[in-house]
Structure 1
């Protein structure tokens, strides 16, 4: 029998944060559709070149607020997810009795290192599940989550976009659908990610032996 760090609280927080972040990106998509529906104001787009910037409309101001709130929620979501991932990774190492394929620094760097961020985070999550329950198949939602995340990541209009908020407003006026589809991919990725958190947390929470101690697969209480 081995004693594991509790994951219920960190799992619930990460699950909730992912859903909140997904909701924020959904609101952003709705706002972009509203901008596209109103059309470009008579004064043109907000950023007019040569350092000139016209006053924003109320709808454009609202989009700035929605984008800022979404950014804050995304940061909170990232912190909650990383805290949870570090916790379940340590538990998985205890259960398997061997060192993880990726060292601890990759729990953070895996998300930001170019090229490596296309597969390392998924690999860490998959390894955690397999080390926690080697007798079980990897849940399909892990691959769905990662595919959706990559769509939102590499589309050039989601998390990796370098456009300013005013540039995004101009793009919404000109061609809104790439923005909306990228946002919806991130919404779906957040929802799928929440269920990944639930699946991995549950497999580490059961079964339990005496005193709430986790029993590894193949062991007897």
Structure 2
């Protein structure tokens, strides 16, 4: 049962209060707590479970991976047909097969866009909930206001680093604590890998798409198709790393909520 006063930590007293609200916990040794955290009982927000949203994000990311695989297959098919045509100077070029291959590539791209948009919406909702929970855990560890957990994604150019700053604050506040108030450092590698590959994927996809749109000669189209295949591969890897990031951060936050905040 949660504390009847703050509603965020497990109750330990007969009247349903946690150790912090009841004032029964011992203060941790000096220097073990991060400087200036806001007590959970004084926070404006209430904890809400991110587990359901995390599961939805993971499922949608799996769909993104599936569409990436479809796009890769379609792209390799187009590149194979075009490469063969260039090799024999288009003497045995099958126009109907080329049209089917191009049509499949367009359909695969449409599936990709739809999956990415749906995933982005749910991911941002999950990200906002994680940020609000982090405000409860430790508002002082957050570099930006909660509203930026949504707005940062829509700021041109700056959206390549602002969400990472916010994610770093969430990660720090969600680090699990021991019952004596000491901190257990959680490696940020899952977050850094996901963010680095995702940014690379976004930038490279824009470059590859522009090259494909500008291509006119058969060899130029063939080379641009190869770039798109590489872009789809990067997107697939980014989605896999995103699943790992979402699951890891959610697990950290759930663990932090279970432990509660040590007395100050």
Q: Which residue of 2 aligns with 1:32?
A: 75
Q: Which one has more relative contact order, counting CA pairs under 8 Å at least 6 apart?
A: 1
Q: Which residue of 2 aligns with 1:77?
A: 119
Q: Which residue of 2 aligns with 1:188?
A: 237
1:94 deviates by: 0.6
Does the 8 A contact of 1:130 with 1:138 survive in 2?
no
Distance in 2 of aligned mates of 1:215 and 1:82: 26
Distance in 2 of aligned mates of 1:60 and 1:93: 49
Gaps of 5+ in 1: 47-53, 209-213
TM norm structure 2: 0.67
Distance in 1 of aligned mates of 2:210 and 2:118: 20
Q: What is the aligned counterpart of 2:138 among 96, 100, 121?
A: 96
1:32 deviates by: 0.9
Gaps of 5+ in 2: 9-45, 177-182
- Per the alignment, do residues 165 and 13 of structure 1 end up closer, same or farther by CA in structure 2, a change over 3 Å counting? farther
Distance in 2 of aligned mates of 1:109 and 1:167: 35
CA RMSD of aligned residues (A): 3.3
Q: Which residue of 2 aligns with 1:218?
A: 262
- Per the alignment, do residues 126 and 97 of structure 1 end up closer, same or farther by CA in structure 2, a change over 3 Å counting? closer
Deviations 1:36-85 (A, max 9, x none): 0011776x9x9xxxxxxx9x711111111111111110011001100100
Does the 8 A contact of 1:155 with 1:182 survive in 2?
yes
Q: What is the aligned counterpart of 2:252 among 203, 207, 219?
A: 203
Matched, 1:131 2:180: no
Does the 8 A contact of 1:133 with 1:217 survive in 2?
no
TM norm structure 1: 0.78
Q: Which residue of 2 aligns with 1:110?
A: 152
- Per the alignment, do residues 141 and 71 of structure 1 end up closer, same or farther by CA in structure 2, a change over 3 Å counting? same
Q: What is the aligned counterpart of 1:8 among 36, 51, 66?
A: 51
Does the 8 A contact of 1:35 with 1:172 survive in 2?
no
